[in-house]
Structure 1
């Protein structure tokens, strides 16, 4: 990927799953109680035996004045939003209300600290509270407009719930109504006891005046205009160049963050283009017909991030395989990300069609290794088909462009091979540094190195003698997690033995015997510099292999933490080596005579498309960087006008 695309992939570090609505509500009440103890603490608490009672009352007042608006907003916002045609769910609604409560508590904490350290009175704290409630309205308005795609007047209805409930409680329990010149016998008798109850509230609320509510209304209107202006300015480049709205992207991202929804995939689908991709299957079966292993290589990229699109492709492939699955990384970049996980079903169908067409043979060649420039390529033929594994290690490389992979495989077939399964080992990179991050593009020196290395390997494999094939497999789930750079497929190994002479190790030549080749596949996204060479040496020594290669699947399930969560970055190298050696040794001990067959089918899928990934990444990065600066400017301007309103109204 390019540096721009890596920044987009880096957004995956924000991905998490929102708690259920009742968990958010419970935490909101607890936070409100703690805030109440700090906000409404009384001098009487210095008396120990009475302190417990007053602390309990302080906590209750925090729950009442801070927690109840949060609970009402958490439970009612989704219902009101859907009533006006929105899409907000209870979990998202509760999470949004909880976040806004944190905003209020943070504002009050800062305001209280300033009031404590300066001559400012309690009235200043409530001035800060007015700004906090208006800010909460603005945050909720932004999120609801993004998630529900409602117009500003419509979105303002559910967005105002938390602010309105808090303002209503403050209005009633501050006794503000008694300060207004309204009333009469009917109002005094029937409504005043319910609309003005200052005797039931903390004495601090007496600092609230009618001007506070006037300023709150004006500030909310000001912030609503600021939200609309911000969205218009940020959204305009997206509509002009991509034909979609940034709100679609924000809606999908929030949906995935909050509940793991597929709304972000719907956005990607609007940008996607149809593509035809080869899907190659290499299967091994025992003499009784039982499948022992299956290599599956669709020429797509398992991205863009997390489980979005094809991010979890290796797991889906493994789940649909009878034998032990080996889903290595294909020669394709982020332009060939699947736009939705539904597209994986189309790929699996192509895998099944290819598997049905397999013709098996027990003959294979010894593996060969060829080099050209920075490229080192390990190849082995099974009958007239070939498995080619390319690496740039010890140099650094990331994705190989789709066109480069097609050209390389085509070059190999011109030398007499039928089907070719070309793997990008994806096993050496120095992180997300530099302008191109090692992306192998058409016309580059590296692309021609790959083509030349593949031709040399094909020339040797096409005429190499065939011998009886044996293979063994093993795998280990491992104790490591995606956050540590290892996906759920863990570490897998396949060891092949080819006896060209047919006399095994008991012939007259003491050096004669089957040639051994070890293939190790780690479910991760690239490797730390130098790790691949270290692992290859360890495997060769452990299983007495003539050749070995270590690959990664490039799964993006590991990128829910950061975009460059490479194998070896978070786990101990020696511990990883021990597991790899142990799995490879088990595979070597598992070898038995097998037959192999390879076939290729084609699948029509929707991918990001040529240059669309770069365009999307550029716009998303611009929205994040410039949007942050614009948001800061809008916030500062809004706060400045808010302060002016306080001076003008005398609040």
Structure 2
């Protein structure tokens, strides 16, 4: 497979055929990005949070910091009323107390960061230092303003020292949390900005003498450590339960997140999660379509009870993409990856475990046995639970959805219970089939994430729908002929930020020829035959915005392209925290224009129909063994620890903050 860049058109060429034709302009696909009418609180919070990690250019930041410092310096001296003093001292303080220290500290942070913590590029170093100096400038201005009104000169100096100590403590917290500097170096780097600023202020106020310097530095250092001590106590309180119950450092986990999110380096977070993982075996499914004409693989569908998380490239997030690449390289065919019954508890612990799983999957392709055996698809309902199922090859394939009810993941225990319920019913009804598998469509979400847990009405509805589906399947006759077509549209990497992975949209079109017009399934009479065309639309993304599935299905049925259809997402988590632009994630359709997406699906469906040819079907249900996953137990412990930590922070944050601030202010009142 290779790419031809033809000015405004990029064509992916696959085995000499144009399998899809996707137009781009300046590297961006025609699928329009639509700003939601109302951002959720989480989306707004993550946008604000991402700013320091996705800043403007260093030139813009430097100019902003310089001008802001001068303005704040001048404004702070206005209450004195002496315009000559306002201009001279205001500009002097702005430039030398705020701007120059900001440049020095950001450059040193960047220089040391290149060696010890690459997170801190020049832009990010400037952005963080700009935030720190802006906080200090605000406190300096507040002190000067109140001091001028109340005519208490010492208030201005107290505010200056307090601001310096406060930004030291703030910077220290951030560096210890997200960097790999270590505590001693973090203390040193955090002190550069306030120490340099205070030094210049002492020189300016002392008319180029250092008379004030030593006592001022002592005053600052004591105040800084008074504010920093509560942070270290809080660190210990938070870290201890995480270390005790999970056996890993909470700060290593946070640092691992930032290294993967910003630098695409998953080694740190994988090494942490690998420590609390446990060995397991999880079910998986391969459905293969082989051309009768040339006996080559035409398409593959894969599903498993491995969860493709936690985010970006960590754990098993990239499994769908990596597996598709391997299969396309080795077998020259298109793979659709779908989601099984699993949650984050079934995340693989590391990229190494992902490669182990991929190796096993590739080995199972050789074991697939092909036949002409298949039934048409049919649906069973139990309240909101819907199961689309068919016998393909030697396996019963069941595809579950609860749309339009909001659903995120289905618990592994519910999935295993569904398989057991199906096998039991198959034995009772005498239904042929060597194995059974449950695929989760993963196609309906909004702002809340609703899990299907064991022993809940949602779980029981799925289990009952599975049972009803198997009962109904016994009355279905096998197809006299099976035809299959496939079409795919890929998207560039940038679309991860908008909820679409590189595997894009794949339409698998399965056509079964029927010899019984009385079969109670959706069908059509075409070319002197009763046939059923079923489209399995697989979108590489993490769930789908509520209502979009129904729009897609309605459009395909209205145009009479197919008789039955289901829309699935892969649940790839490469779209989660996909870049420093996007720390959260968007379900498919949250920011992608729906009409554009639906039109692309319609085009692919037409292409898949044109691609139809007679095939044999082979299935393989197997266990992926000896892989290390998070497990329900450890995930529950993790969330419990996070909840306990959050509750602890609620209790201690305000008292610790008030205590630190009070002690620092008392010290400053005494010493200034």
Q: With structure 1 as the length reference, what TM-score do the two structures score? A: 0.80
User: What's 1:137 paired with?
Assistant: 168
* CA deviation after TM superposition for structure 1 residue 423, in Å: 0.8
Name the SS for the 1:364 alignment partner.
Answer: coil
Comparing 474-483 with 521-530, greater Cα deviation is found at 474-483
User: What's 1:529 paired with?
Assistant: 546
Out of 15, 29, 50, the position equivalent to 2:62 is: 29
* CA deviation after TM superposition for structure 1 residue 510, in Å: 7.9
Matched-pair contact (CA < 8 Å) for 1:88–1:147:
no
* CA deviation after TM superposition for structure 1 residue 97, in Å: 5.9
User: What's 1:187 paired with?
Assistant: none
Cα deviation code 1:397-422 (max 9, x no counterpart): 22111122223234434523124342
Comparing 630-639 with 421-430, greater Cα deviation is found at 630-639
Residues 1:89 and 2:118 are matched in the alignment:
yes
* CA deviation after TM superposition for structure 1 residue 609, in Å: 1.0
User: What's 1:165 paired with?
Assistant: 196
User: What's 1:186 paired with?
Assistant: none
Out of 499, 506, 509, the position equivalent to 2:513 is: 499
Q: Aligned partners of 1:220 and 1:209: how far apart in 2?
A: 16
Out of 123, 128, 133, the position equivalent to 2:159 is: 128
Residues 1:256 and 2:295 are matched in the alignment:
no
The structure that has the greater radius of gyration is 1
Residues 1:101 and 2:130 are matched in the alignment:
yes
* CA deviation after TM superposition for structure 1 residue 337, in Å: 1.6
Residues 1:487 and 2:518 are matched in the alignment:
no
User: What's 1:368 paired with?
Assistant: 378
Gaps of 5+ in 2: 1-39, 79-83, 427-431, 518-523
Structure 1 pair 319–80 and aligned structure 2 pair: CA distance change class (3 A): closer
Q: Aligned partners of 1:177 and 1:334: how far apart in 2?
A: 61
Out of 375, 400, 414, the position equivalent to 1:390 is: 400
Structure 1 pair 615–508 and aligned structure 2 pair: CA distance change class (3 A): closer
Q: Aligned partners of 1:234 and 1:576: how far apart in 2?
A: 45
Name the SS for the 2:574 alignment partner.
Answer: helix
Structure 1 pair 590–258 and aligned structure 2 pair: CA distance change class (3 A): closer
Cα deviation code 1:351-392 (max 9, x no counterpart): 201112122224422222223343221112222223321112
Q: Aligned partners of 2:525 and 2:649: how far apart in 1?
A: 75
User: What's 2:29 paired with?
Assistant: none
Q: How does 1:253-332 map to 2 (within 5 A)?
A: 253-262=257-266, 263-286=268-291, 287-322=293-328, 323-332=333-342
Q: Aligned partners of 1:623 and 1:213: how far apart in 2?
A: 36
Name the SS for the 1:569 alignment partner.
Answer: coil
User: What's 1:241 paired with?
Assistant: 245
Q: Aligned partners of 2:465 and 2:213: how far apart in 1?
A: 81
Q: How does 1:602-613 map to 2 (within 5 A)?
A: 602-613=624-635
User: What's 1:520 paired with?
Assistant: 537
Q: Aligned partners of 2:525 and 2:262: how far apart in 1?
A: 69
Name the SS for the 1:321 alignment partner.
Answer: helix
Out of 93, 98, 103, the position equivalent to 1:66 is: 98
Name the SS for the 1:327 alignment partner.
Answer: strand
* CA deviation after TM superposition for structure 1 residue 472, in Å: 1.1
Structure 1 pair 333–570 and aligned structure 2 pair: CA distance change class (3 A): same
Cα deviation code 1:114-172 (max 9, x no counterpart): 63475257764443332232223223332343456787556533443333333444444
Matched-pair contact (CA < 8 Å) for 2:142–2:159:
no
Cα deviation code 1:443-472 (max 9, x no counterpart): 334434433433443455566323221111
User: What's 1:542 paired with?
Assistant: 559
Q: Aligned partners of 2:45 and 2:90: how far apart in 1?
A: 41
Name the SS for the 2:381 alignment partner.
Answer: strand
Q: Aligned partners of 2:232 and 2:525: how far apart in 1?
A: 85
Comparing 525-534 with 221-230, greater Cα deviation is found at 525-534
User: What's 2:232 paired with?
Assistant: 228
Q: Aligned partners of 1:213 and 1:28: how far apart in 2?
A: 28
Name the SS for the 1:293 alignment partner.
Answer: strand
Q: Aligned partners of 1:625 and 1:558: how far apart in 2?
A: 30
* CA deviation after TM superposition for structure 1 residue 174, in Å: 4.4
